[in-house]
Structure 1
């Protein structure tokens, strides 16, 4: 091994040692002060909330914002210092699946960042706390995206190397200076204007707990590469077909399948949460669908499947599809939940029927009935979901069209029509359709068309504008054009002279209304 390689390995070793030392220091600090600070702050927060109900004070929002920030910082420090105290169970899971789920959360960045993926050894799993590792991967990908100022590339690779799974996350961002490299993982150290400095601390803490290592290479101005090495699960042994050995689960026995699912409901729910971890995390922030909803409806589905109540399954699917459509939950979460639900149900059925001694004909009949029920749920869920979204879209289009032609009555038979924004042929077509309908329905005989807020484009057709004015006059309504800008005047000068003669013109809408009001008052005298 050459001198350069030895120096790099020595430097990486120093970094890992320093990180472990930092985490140990953080643990000692947090163990001594976190609870002592957090508990009083929480009590103060509760008392202030009571005071807020009795006293009006202009700085309440600022007080609570600062207090929440302090509590959040203490909780972050505690979670990093003692991650092993978290109640999350240890499971075998695929990093490829988790990376795919995480990347789906960065769809808003695809307009400026190209995500490149290279998945090798996809069947390999690791063992650990899924949410901790997922949060660490999310933090690294988030940092990679934020390091790219304008446009760039984030590359993610997954490959087995010996007894470890390597995840390599590279970016073409601003890079990290040599000085800052030695401070990576230090709590509260950040180069971001609004960063907390706890993201990488969580990454190092989670990986250290899982017996993993992390190597960082960076060149300022060119980018950064994080290489994670996580041990392969000791129970994960690929079979001859390349699949993974199914891990045993301990379930309570029962003679009836309904009773079997009921007795093991807690395990069923835990397995569903593990299989659809991303969905449950996203749903926890939703107002229309809750984590309890997911579990309750999953258990309802299993009951209906056993009873063969297809119509009830369809009705439940329609109700759930509409609820999901109302929320902002991404479609990928919906698909993950379907996949997880089907997988867990089949696993339970496999456990129930494995020692029943049923013949092939009966087994296929059970499989057909179960698949039919689940497929009915998925199909009608998607139909209801799509129909609600389509109805909302059509409603929004109608509102847009209505707002595009806001005819505002001011006197009996008199109205104002302000044209605001881009004026092109498509907009003129909408105006023609909606404006003439409103003139007829409201029986208007005078219309002030204000174009002070209109933006003309080269696409505007004189013929389209003339059709609108002809339609207004055919309905017995006088058109008065106000708010003509210099650009609009040049546009009208290029039109047919007959177009200008068809309408009355006044400088501003305000002046036109004042003149009309004065004339109206004179007539009434």
Structure 2
């Protein structure tokens, strides 16, 4: 399609906007009843956006089309709208566009050879379908990327909450650890410990491991490096509540925390020692 024909098609559709929208809604059986809810909850105007998408596709505005698809992907991901609805909506747009291209062709008959007509139809089909497919591809990538970032961010928040450093005096804090600790969580714990030692001016950090039943070898080595980091920050590390299973594994691996931390039996005993010593 040349530019004149592209503009004619867009004007043809816009001049029949209400008819076009009704046809589109009739094609999108599942989406149509939800269109107002989507507008109210996500401020996403499906009908207006459909017209914008069609304009970009017909006029071959690829950069604008891809940018718009990315915006749509983020908007749908932000408001947890399902991909099933989006897929049905875009396919409904595709069918509706072809319906109006057929009507446009009927009203604008040109005297051309059969071979030229077939070539024109083939070019039009390629342009429309490729444009819509490019939109879908960019939309899905944007949607998926945003969801992945959101999940990662939420997981990081949860991990930070699962490693609460509790100040019990101006310079002493307690870090109770429970549950499974993997390499990812240990990275989060390391970041939080070192940041809080600096920000809270912690001089003594008591780490209670009574809620930890086991650690992988890699995690134990990483925990040892965390203890080294605590020491380098000028902070005294105290480890309490080591379980027998974990101690046996450390003995077999010839791993010790003695160089970087002192160990005590229970958190209660440790707090009592500091209270008795008037350090709190």
- Asked whether 1:434 is paired with 2:154, we answer no
Larger gyration radius, structure 1 or structure 2: 1
Corresponding residue of 1:416: 174
Give the corresponding residue for 1:451.
Answer: 209
Give the corresponding residue for 1:354. Answer: 106
* Secondary structure of the structure 1 residue equivalent to 2:85: helix
- For 1:5-404, list aligned pairs within 5 A: 256-281=8-33, 285-286=37-38, 288-289=41-42, 293-358=45-110, 359=112, 360=117, 361-404=119-162
Unaligned runs of 5+ in 2: 1-6
Give the match's secondary structure for 1:451.
strand
* Distance in 1, Cα, partners of 2:79 & 2:63: 25
| Paired position in structure 2 for 1:507 | 266
Distance in 2, Cα, partners of 1:499 & 1:407: 23
State the 1:368 CA deviation: 4.2
Q: Distance in 1 between matches of 2:86 and 2:168?
A: 50
Task: Give, in whole Å, the separation in 2 of the partners of 1:288 and 1:269.
Answer: 21
Distance 1:356 1:386, change over 3 A: same
Size of the aligned set, in residue pairs, is 260
What is the CA deviation profile of residues 345-402 of structure 1, one whole-angstrom value per residue up to 9, with x for unaligned ones?
1111111113422442444444444345434433332332233223223323433443
| Conserved 8 A contact 2:231-2:237 | yes
- Report if the CA contact (8 A) 2:159-2:185 is conserved: no
Whether the aligned pair in 2 keeps the contact of 1:480 and 1:506 (CA below 8 Å) is: no
Q: Which whole-Å CA distance do the structure 1 matches of 2:184 and 2:192 have between them?
A: 11
Do the aligned partners of 1:407 and 1:438 also contact (CA within 8 Å) in 2? Answer: no
CA shift digits 1:453-512 (9 cap, x unpaired): x24137567655545444434543222234x3xxx5423552439847542425335x64
Q: Does 1:476 align with 2:230?
A: no
Q: For residue 278 of structure 1, report the CA deviation from its aligned partner.
A: 1.6
Shift in Å, 1:308: 4.5
2:249 pairs with 1:491: no
Distance 1:277 1:402, change over 3 A: same
CA distance in 1, matches of 2:179, 2:107: 71
Maintained 8 Å contact 1:283/1:289: no
CA gap 1:335/1:479 in 2 versus in 1, 3 angstroms: same
Scaled by the length of structure 2, the TM-score of the pair is 0.72
CA-to-partner distance for each residue in 1:163-198, whole Å, 9 max, x for gaps?
xxxxxxxxxxxxxxxxxxxxxxxxxxxxxxxxxxxx
Aligned to 2:3: none
Which structure 1 segments of 5+ residues have no match?
1-254
> Which shows bigger deviation, 381-390 or 462-471?
462-471
- Kept in 2, the 8 Å contact 1:401–1:430? The answer is no
Question: What is the CA-CA distance between 1:521 and the residue it aligns to?
Answer: 6.7
Q: CA distance change for structure 1 residues 285 and 490 in 2, over 3 Å: closer, same or farther?
A: farther
Secondary structure, counterpart of 1:278 in structure 2: coil
Paired with 1:366 and 1:493, the residues of 2 have a C-alpha distance of 72
User: Higher relative contact order by CA 8 Å / sep ≥ 6: 1 or 2?
Assistant: 2
Contact 2:175 2:207 in 1 (8 A): yes
More helix by share: 2
- In 2, Cα distance between the equivalents of 1:431 and 1:392? 17
Cα distance in structure 1, aligned partners of 2:14 and 2:255: 81
- What TM-score, normalized to structure 1? 0.42
